[in-house]
Amino acid sequence: QRQRGGQRRRGGRPHPWAPAFAPGHLRDVGATPAGSEAAGEPGQEEEAEDRLKEHMDNLLDKSAKTRQAALQSLRLAFSSKTLSEFLLERRLMLTDSLEKCLKKGKGEEQALAGTVLTLLCLQMGSGPEGEEVFRSLKPLLVSVLTDSMASPGARQSCATALGMCCYIAAADLEDLVSCLSCLEGIFSPPSAGEGGSAPTQHGPLHCSALQSWSLLLTICPPSHIKSVLDNRWLKLPPLLSSSSVALRILAGETIALVFELAQDVEEDLCHQDTEFLRAQLKVLATESNKYRAKTDRRKQRSIFRDILRFIESGEYQEETIRFGLECMYLDSWARQRTYQAFKEVLGSGIRHHLQNNELLREIFGLGPPLVLDAAALKASKVSRFEKHLYNSAAFKARTKARSRVRDKRADVL
């Protein structure tokens, strides 16, 4: 049983691998803890369940178009609602259907099946049910991911599914290490090791593999972290030269994560290539090449400035995430990587799941879901006029601050 975010799993004991997040990441803004989210009207709930049952039945339809439409509907439902009780007794049937879609489907159908599988595992949580889903489909995910003839979209979805499901439900260290090795083989093949060139094909696939690998790195035991620090992290710097801005940024964030983990296990990353790495990061933090898109250059410079600041001085740019009446702080690269991974899978549903999904609240140390009565909900709502006043004041303050900075720039010039 695995520890997540410094919290004990339901009915379990803390797991020795997973590092605990520091306390104090949640600020309660006036709500009181209680059970779970309030149920809707019985009639509407039954109607929604009937539609879900129909979509699940359609996964076995002979028409590929019908199966894809069903997968799209399930993806939307699973990402926007918490349905663990409904899915608990139907997980085996749904797992079998998703297995058939992954085996016999093509391209888009396989990609959607991988995403729905990830969401199913997220709904089931880190208990025996989630572990059962992960164990049953792990070989198939690895098979599709490593199949060079499969569509890039399907391989990308399986890379995300393998990382997320392993993070959520893997109970054995052996599963964790095998998933790390498989993902590493995707974003860093033998020809792209130390001194090699960065991969140029299937940029999104490499991004998904690297994101999943770095996510699993956050729950590795210290012994495995030390083996990564010894030599395997040197496969990351070549990715900074990739033609894909997304892969460059993700590689930089992963390098910062490796440095953070090295601090946690009290290991020194002083290596003969470390100075060269810092020089690379400085170039990326100040790059102004015109052949790159303006928005890409701006985003890259901003992120690599934060990465360079952390590596040189240990300072992390804290970020606040607000959802409902709560907020949490992302104050480490490990915490940021975890949040970004779940956000990519859940999309706009991330806020709902942070409020109501017990697994996510356990991972981020948010405590039990909050229940608000009607009076508290009404008091929490801000009128349109109040929002307008707040936005106007914020805009005015931002303009003044930027004007002062521009004046200083003018003085320097």
The pLDDT tens digits for 99-129 are: 999 998 888 999 999 999 999 999 998 889 9
pLDDT tens digits for 146-191? 998 999 999 999 999 999 999 999 888 899 999 999 999 898 865 4
Neighbours of 73 (CB within 10 A): 17
Q: Which of 15-24, 136-145, 283-292 has the highest mean pLDDT?
A: 136-145
Query: How does pLDDT run across 56-72, given as a tens digit for each residue?
Result: 999 999 999 999 999 99
Q: Give pLDDT, residue 227.
A: 81
Return the DSSP state at 320: E
**pLDDT tens by residue, 211-247:** 999 999 999 988 888 887 777 677 888 888 888 888 9
Residue 20 pLDDT greater than 50, yes or no? no
**C-alpha to C-alpha distance for 106 and 154, rounded to whole angstroms:** 8
Nearest-angstrom CA–CA distance, 274 and 253: 16
What domains sit in the chain, N to C, each tagged with a CATH number? 52-171 (1.25.10.10)
Residues 6 or more apart in contact with residue 26 via CB below 8 angstroms: 326, 327, 328, 364, 365, 366, 367
At residue 14, the pLDDT reads 40
Cross-strand pairs, 7: 4
Identify the pLDDT of residue 372.
65
Q: What are phi and psi of 56, to 5 degrees?
A: -65, -35
Taking only the tens place, the pLDDT of each residue in 282-335 is: 888 887 666 566 777 788 888 889 998 898 888 888 899 998 888 899 999 999
Dihedral over alpha carbons 371, 82, 217, 133 (to 10 degrees): 140
What does each C-alpha distance from 9 to 1, 15, 162 come to in angstroms?
7, 9, 21
* Residue 267 backbone phi and psi in degrees, to 5: -110, 145
| pLDDT tens-digit readout, 241-277 | 888 888 989 999 999 999 898 888 776 665 556 777 7
**Distance separating alpha carbons of residues 206 and 200, to the nearest angstrom:** 9
Residue for token digits 């200083």?
A: 408
Give the pLDDT score at 26. 44
What's the distance, CA 330 to chain centroid?
A: 13
Residue 23 has pLDDT above 80, yes or no: no
Mean pLDDT calculated for residue range 66-92: 93
Q: Give me the phi and psi of 4, to 5 degrees please.
A: -130, 130
**How far apart are the C-alpha atoms of 142 and 114, rounded to whole Å?**
11
The rounded distance, in Å, linking the Cα atoms of 192 and 188 is: 5
pLDDT of residue 12: 38
Distance CA 268, CA 369 (A): 40
Residue 235, amino acid: K
* Residues 98/137, Cβ–Cβ less than 8 Å: yes
- For residues 102, 104, 106 and 109, what is the CA-based torsion angle, rounded to 10 degrees? -50
